[in-house]
Chain A
Amino acid sequence: MNTTNNALTEAVYYILLALVDPMHGYGIMQQTATLSKGRVRLSAGTLYGALASLLDKGWIEQLPEEGRKKDYRITLAGREVLEQELLRLSELLENGRNTLNNQNE
């Protein structure tokens, strides 16, 4: 549950999206850059802090360690947050499109 009811930052949004598949930190950075066509680049500091607070909120979990790199994965709670965010974004998008299209007609 997104208890704060706030919009997700782009960083958090892309991190959660990337973690639908289990992934380590560097993978998340690359995935984010790829998905956003290089527009969003997570700094290591941002990502490190974000992963810690997402773990804390229970939106992602850490998988048992294999080697030194830590893998993360989204939790059910995290998925829920992501779906809520998608609803919110579709509302924004729909209202924006409708308003601007009506005006153009």
Chain B
Amino acid sequence: MEKKDIKKLWRFYTIADYEREESFLNEMARAGWNLTAVGFCRYIFRRGNAGEFIYKLDMVERTESDEVKESYFNFLTDCGIRVVGEFKDWIYLQKRASDGPFDTKNNTYAKLRQVNKIYSFSLRTVCNLLRIFVAIMLVLVLLQVLMSNNAGVMDFCNGVIYSLGISSLIALAIIWVPIINKLRRKVNKLIEDIGVNL
């Protein structure tokens, strides 16, 4: 494979921007660049026939057992779908365009299923991060209580609690609040489209 037939691009998409990420991959495929591997913000394409493949993102949580994953992957293979990349909890699906689309265009149920999966995953992630945060803070407070006669330890714990603790909490909020909000709006919009509220 010659070097000019390989293209490596950097792109950043948050978990809430999976639709934009899908569009990006499909645009590349239409221009003849087929996704072959995925890493952190990194996409590797190989030159191929323009419009031969279409792409879609799916989520399979890392916490799922190997059997569940294997059974799902086998099922996808049977459906003519190849998993071309895996990154964290995402899998990148490739299908021949001539075999038809991944699902009905504008299928609200399918979209809701996908975004709900991502939304609950994001909420769980934030809860887990908060749990870790609380655990670390509790350890530090406990340490302060136990070592209250040691000024060095007191200062260290105070420093960590006030600087690192607060800044990581702020970082958590800045990163995750917009993502959760965006996903929640998507979920609500789709629920409205289905007509549950009618």
Report A-chain residues with C-beta under 8 Å of the C-beta of B81. 44
For the complex, would chain B's binding face be called helix, strand, loop or mixed by DSSP majority? mixed
Roughly how many angstroms separate A63 CA and B93 CA in the complex, as a whole number? 28
Decide: B79 and A26 in contact? CB cutoff 8 A: yes
Q: Which stretch from B35-43, B96-104, B150-158, B175-183 is at the chain A interface? A: B96-104
Considering only CB atoms, which chain B residue lies closest to A41 in the complex?
B104
> Provided the pairs A46-B109, A49-B113 are in contact, do residues A26 and B104 lie with their beta carbons within 8 angstroms?
no
Considering only CB atoms, which chain A residue lies closest to B58 in the complex?
A45
Considering only CB atoms, which chain A residue lies closest to B72 in the complex?
A48
Decide: A48 and B75 in contact? CB cutoff 8 A: yes
**Residue B147, interface by CB 8 Å:** no
Considering only CB atoms, which chain A residue lies closest to B68 in the complex?
A52
Decide: B110 and A43 in contact? CB cutoff 8 A: yes
**Residue A68, interface by CB 8 Å:** yes
Decide: A43 and B102 in contact? CB cutoff 8 A: yes
> Provided the pairs A24-B78, A25-B75 are in contact, do residues A45 and B114 lie with their beta carbons within 8 angstroms?
yes
The 8 Å CB contact of B76, one of A9, A11, A38, A44, is A44
Considering only CB atoms, which chain B residue lies closest to A51 in the complex?
B75
> Provided the pairs A33-B100, A39-B104, A68-B74 are in contact, do residues A44 and B113 lie with their beta carbons within 8 angstroms?
no
Q: Which of A24, A39, A44, A68 has the most CB of B within 10 A?
A: A44
> Provided the pairs A40-B104, A68-B74 are in contact, do residues A46 and B79 lie with their beta carbons within 8 angstroms?
no
> Provided the pairs A25-B78, A26-B78 are in contact, do residues A42 and B103 lie with their beta carbons within 8 angstroms?
yes
**Residue B80, interface by CB 8 Å:** yes
- Number of residue pairs across A and B with beta carbons under 8 Å? 47
Report A-chain residues with C-beta under 8 Å of the C-beta of B102. 41, 43-44
Roughly how many angstroms separate A43 CA and B101 CA in the complex, as a whole number? 8
> Provided the pairs A33-B100, A45-B58 are in contact, do residues A9 and B109 lie with their beta carbons within 8 angstroms?
yes
Report A-chain residues with C-beta under 8 Å of the C-beta of B74. 68
Report B-chain residues with C-beta under 8 Å of the C-beta of A37. none
Q: What's the least CB distance linking A14 to chain B, in Å?
A: 11
**Residue A18, interface by CB 8 Å:** no
Besides the known contacts A33-B100, A44-B79, A48-B75, 17 further A-B residue pairs in the complex with CB atoms under 8 A apart:
A25-B78, A26-B79, A29-B79, A40-B104, A41-B102, A41-B103, A41-B104, A41-B107, A43-B103, A43-B107, A43-B110, A44-B76, A45-B114, A46-B103, A46-B109, A48-B72, A68-B74
